[in-house]
A and B are shown apart, each in its own frame.
Chain A
Amino acid sequence: MKYLHLIWAGLFRRKSRTLLTLVSIVAAFVLFGLLDSVSIAFSAGNSVEGAGRLIVTSRMSMQQALPESLGARIKAVPGVTDVASANWFGGVYQDARNQVISFAVSPSYIDLYPELTLPADQRKAWMATRTGAIVGAALAKKFGWKVGDKIPLQSTIFPSKASGGQTWTFDIAGIFHAKDPKAAGREQMLMFHWKYFDENNAFGSGTVHWYVVKVADPAHADAVANAIDTLSANSDHETKTQTEQAFQASFIKQMANVGLIVASIMGAVFFTLLLLTGNTMMQAVRERTSELAVFKTIGFSSRSVLWMVLAESVLLLVLGGSIGLGVVALVIPGMAAASGGMLPIHGLDPRTWGLGVALMLIIGVVVGLLPALRAMRLNIVDALSGR
């Protein structure tokens, strides 16, 4: 630690070169931070408390409807503590571009998601209103909706009996918040009563698109899932039950292999960075040959010269990397807001920081190793005479 001043002075011996190198390092780590955050946002399935929940869909495809009566039978399966149902609605507000993630749900649906909080009085009001709907805070903010508003939504799928067209009217009875910022993606949803949906829907009735099942013990989720699928085996509505994570992961896996794309870009970036900083450090040590020889002359051991050069390159990387990740941490809230909730990220994940710091240290050591060895092996007499 007592050499910090010396290392710092060595690093900024040539200010412009160090600054230019720093900017390159910052750019590399900005890119790393952004891509890693996106990749985490995609792979996490943005749910932390999903472990105890199963999703039951039709085995044929997730758009295929299941009978509503199946819910009661699922509830009777041992190990199941609660069941709720949901239907696709495909809502848009005013313009086809303003898609609203909207579901028709059974009354207990919200109870299965303890990470969402709805004030008790609003919940009561919602239950009492046939056409009531509850919306996530982020969605309400986006369209300026308040409790008590009457809003028209067009369903892209289901015509309404009441209006004779695609327009459905809802009364906003409550606004729910997500307790955990990781579940903030759910604040984009609108939910309304399945009963209203079923009665007012001009196409068939008595069906739901998926069930959410709460299991007593997540460790036995597989056994419960099998038991649920057995209920409808060989019927005309066979089901497929999977954990919520598996359900969400199946969507994301199909979207694109985000991890692979991110890894290849980062590979290209860090390979270049290695070359660039390696070159800088090489130059820095070459220039200072005589200074290093002086160090050795006045009594620094070869080993401590090695450590000083290594420390210098690690310091360079850590400095640049921290600035880069810091920039990302500042930028991300803005990006998340601009994406309109598509990217459920709210700050830099600790995992990104961890991986980032590890990368800084590793690259710093790799880059500094050759120049440091060169400095260590320096022969005082040769170096001082400029040979």
Chain B
Amino acid sequence: MKRFLFNLMLVVLIAVVLAVWVMLPWMGVLAAAVLLALWLGLTRNGRQTVSVTSVGLRTLGQRLGSVSVIVIGIAGVVGVLVALLAMGSGLSATLQGGGRDDTAIVLRGGSTSEAQSVLVRSDVDAITQEPGVQQDAKGKPLASAELVVAANVRKKGSDDDANAQLRGIDPMAWALRPDLKIIRGRKFHTGMRELVVGEGAAREFAHMDVGDTVKLGREDWKVVGVFASHDAYDSELWADRAAVSDAFRRGNSAESVLVRLTSPAAFDRFKAALASDPKLKVEAQTTRDYFAKQSEQLTRVIRVVGITVGVIMAIGAVFGALNCMFAAVASRAREIATLRAIGFRGTPVVTSVMLETMLLALAGGVLGAAVVWLLFNGYTASTLSGFNQVVFRFRVDPALIWTGLKWALAIGFVGGLFPAVRAARLPVSTALREL
């Protein structure tokens, strides 16, 4: 009964520590590490811990099997977790990257994406004349009506078809996206069947290099340039709006209007003006909001999957670590009992076993994160967002590696605690008597 209560207490302790650990920012972790170092260096118990731990660490070589189980097991958990989260973070960075506060996108009321929206010519004219829209030096509104169609293209190096997003734009579109740069070739000429393709599209789809000709809709298009913008546009093909609507029989309509506002603060005025116009049934959002909404669901799914897989793997790794540390403690039972007999107290023994496990866990975490960083940082992949292909890069950033290391240490903590307590509670006389 007493033992049961004691174990229950340990479990509660673990839950509390884990909860605090999850919340702890990096400053807190740093402070804890400094405190630990001070305790190790300055107090009597601390110095005892250091010597016991160093004995443990020196015997690691003899237990290579169990040590590698802990290190590689935890490396696996951290690696898979960081890789999945890097996928999510890369995707959301790509999808949200193009968003700005001083640019608004106008869609027909009730539409949640460009593909669902339709705006007729008179809508477009009215929208660009509303207050809050910035004008260029010649007094023309900085606005671009755009038409997006899904075009069948070939994936590079295979016979599979993919849906590429073909965007028909007005000349102002370039000015509305200041981060976008032409990296090869030139912009298309208005009225010609010429394409400028995103960097991601050029990499992912066949026949997308400058000088190539590709069939989209009923027509042949000449690729004249490649642009880079490091966001969702990178996966798109851009062409003159009139040419696109002609090839895909879309008449005079557009799907969205992108406008530059005089300032981010002008958005409310612009939105109110649209709402009060009885002829218009449209809704405006800043592009930052719009892109964030587009990527919300997909990134959430990836996060949930990543964490679920991580948790299940972590459970497996915790028990693997427990197993190995129990074995380590058992094999050193006499040694530990001897230490206790000559006056070492319980705390140094407990702490040293914990320290050993957590150091191994940390090594595993670093290994896993390093492998993922080497293999996956910048790795390009593509997925379907709505109807169309989005090309994105995995992003293994320091924050993710930090998350991975926190997981590793948490696994080490749980895996080391029970064996440590067992080591400290072992009755000295029985342990010494055991062969």
- By a beta-carbon cutoff of 8 Å, the part of chain A in contact with chain B is 16-17, 20-21, 23-25, 27-28, 30-31, 34-35, 59-64, 90, 96, 154, 156-157, 165-166, 203, 236, 238, 240, 250-251, 253-257, 264-265, 268-269, 271-273, 275-276, 278-280, 282-283
Q: A21-B319, A31-B313 are in contact. Are A250 and B161 (CB under 8 A)?
A: yes
Interface on chain A toward B: helix, strand, loop, or mixed SS? helix
Residue B344, interface by CB 8 Å: no
Residue B150, interface by CB 8 Å: yes
CB of A61 within 8 A of CB of B115, answer no
CB of B73 within 8 A of CB of A20, answer no
Q: Which residues of A contact B79 (CB under 8 A)?
A: 268
Contacting residues of chain B (273-328) with chain A, CB-CB under 8 angstroms: 281, 309, 312-313, 315-317, 319-320, 322-324, 326-327
**In the complex, per-residue mask of B11-31: 1 if CB is within 8 Å of any chain A CB, else 0:** 000000000000000000000
Residue B41, interface by CB 8 Å: no
Q: Which residues of B contact A90 (CB under 8 A)?
A: 116
Kindly state the separation between the CA atoms of A125 and B113 in the bound complex, as whole angstroms: 36
**Which of B151, B312, B320 counts the most A-chain CB atoms under 10 A from its CB?**
B320
Q: Which residues of A contact B97 (CB under 8 A)?
A: none
CB of B387 within 8 A of CB of A60, answer no
Identify B323's interface contact among A59, A61, A276, CB under 8 A: A276
Give the total number of A-B pairs whose CB atoms are below 8 A apart. Answer: 129
CB of B316 within 8 A of CB of A28, answer yes
Question: Besides the contacts A251-B384, A272-B69, A279-B69, what 5 more A-B pairs have beta carbons closer than 8 Å?
Answer: A31-B312, A157-B111, A254-B163, A271-B72, A283-B327
The 9 closest A-B pairs by CB, nearest first: A27-B316, A61-B150, A156-B116, A20-B323, A23-B319, A268-B76, A24-B316, A254-B384, A272-B76
Residue B68, interface by CB 8 Å: yes
Identify A157's interface contact among B116, B217, B281, B309, CB under 8 A: B116
Please give me the residue from chain B that is nearest to A253 by CB atom. Answer: B160
CB of A282 within 8 A of CB of B110, answer no
CB of A17 within 8 A of CB of B323, answer yes
Contacting residues of chain B (371-390) with chain A, CB-CB under 8 angstroms: 381-384, 387, 389
CB of B383 within 8 A of CB of A272, answer no
Kindly state the separation between the CA atoms of A28 and B315 in the bound complex, as whole angstroms: 9
Kindly state the separation between the CA atoms of A350 and B387 in the bound complex, as whole angstroms: 33
Kindly state the separation between the CA atoms of A236 and B150 in the bound complex, as whole angstroms: 16
Q: A17-B323, A20-B326, A27-B316 are in contact. Are A60 and B72 (CB under 8 A)?
A: no
Q: Which residues of B contact A59 (CB under 8 A)?
A: 152
CB of B160 within 8 A of CB of A265, answer no
**Which of A24, A62, A156, A250 counts the most B-chain CB atoms under 10 A from its CB?**
A24
Kindly state the separation between the CA atoms of A269 and B322 in the bound complex, as whole angstroms: 17
Kindly state the separation between the CA atoms of A30 and B315 in the bound complex, as whole angstroms: 11
Shortest CB-to-CB span from A284 to chain B, Å, is 11
Identify B110's interface contact among A156, A256, A269, CB under 8 A: A156
**In the complex, per-residue mask of B40-82: 1 if CB is within 8 Å of any chain A CB, else 0:** 0000000000000000000000000110110011001001100
Residue B185, interface by CB 8 Å: no
Kindly state the separation between the CA atoms of A35 and B150 in the bound complex, as whole angstroms: 31
CB of A272 within 8 A of CB of B316, answer yes
Identify B149's interface contact among A63, A96, A268, A269, CB under 8 A: A63
CB of A63 within 8 A of CB of B69, answer no
Shortest CB-to-CB span from A332 to chain B, Å, is 13
Shortest CB-to-CB span from A151 to chain B, Å, is 17
Q: Which residues of A contact B189 (CB under 8 A)?
A: none
Q: Which residues of A contact B326 (CB under 8 A)?
A: 16-17, 20
CB of B150 within 8 A of CB of A62, answer yes
CB of A27 within 8 A of CB of B151, answer no
CB of A60 within 8 A of CB of B248, answer yes
Please give me the residue from chain A that is nearest to B324 by CB atom. Answer: A279
CB of A62 within 8 A of CB of B163, answer yes
Shortest CB-to-CB span from A296 to chain B, Å, is 22
Shortest CB-to-CB span from A114 to chain B, Å, is 29
Residue B370, interface by CB 8 Å: no
Residue B359, interface by CB 8 Å: no
Shortest CB-to-CB span from A272 to chain B, Å, is 4
Kindly state the separation between the CA atoms of A251 and B69 in the bound complex, as whole angstroms: 40
CB of B323 within 8 A of CB of A256, answer no
Shortest CB-to-CB span from A34 to chain B, Å, is 8
Residue B218, interface by CB 8 Å: yes
Q: A27-B316, A250-B161 are in contact. Are A275 and B80 (CB under 8 A)?
A: no
Residue B249, interface by CB 8 Å: yes
Q: Which residues of B contact A156 (CB under 8 A)?
A: 110-112, 116
Q: Which residues of B contact A35 (CB under 8 A)?
A: 309
Q: A21-B323, A240-B152 are in contact. Are A27 and B313 (CB under 8 A)?
A: yes
Q: A60-B248, A268-B76 are in contact. Are A30 and B312 (CB under 8 A)?
A: yes
Kindly state the separation between the CA atoms of A256 and B91 in the bound complex, as whole angstroms: 12
CB of A60 within 8 A of CB of B323, answer no
Kindly state the separation between the CA atoms of A24 and B415 in the bound complex, as whole angstroms: 12
Shortest CB-to-CB span from A105 to chain B, Å, is 20
Kindly state the separation between the CA atoms of A25 and B317 in the bound complex, as whole angstroms: 10
CB of B312 within 8 A of CB of A275, answer no
Q: Which residues of A contact B76 (CB under 8 A)?
A: 268-269, 271-272
CB of B161 within 8 A of CB of A268, answer no
Identify B151's interface contact among A16, A61, A275, CB under 8 A: A61
Q: Which residues of A contact B118 (CB under 8 A)?
A: 203
Identify A61's interface contact among B73, B152, B281, B309, CB under 8 A: B152
Kindly state the separation between the CA atoms of A253 and B158 in the bound complex, as whole angstroms: 12
Residue B162, interface by CB 8 Å: yes
CB of A17 within 8 A of CB of B72, answer no
Q: Which residues of B contact A166 (CB under 8 A)?
A: 109-110
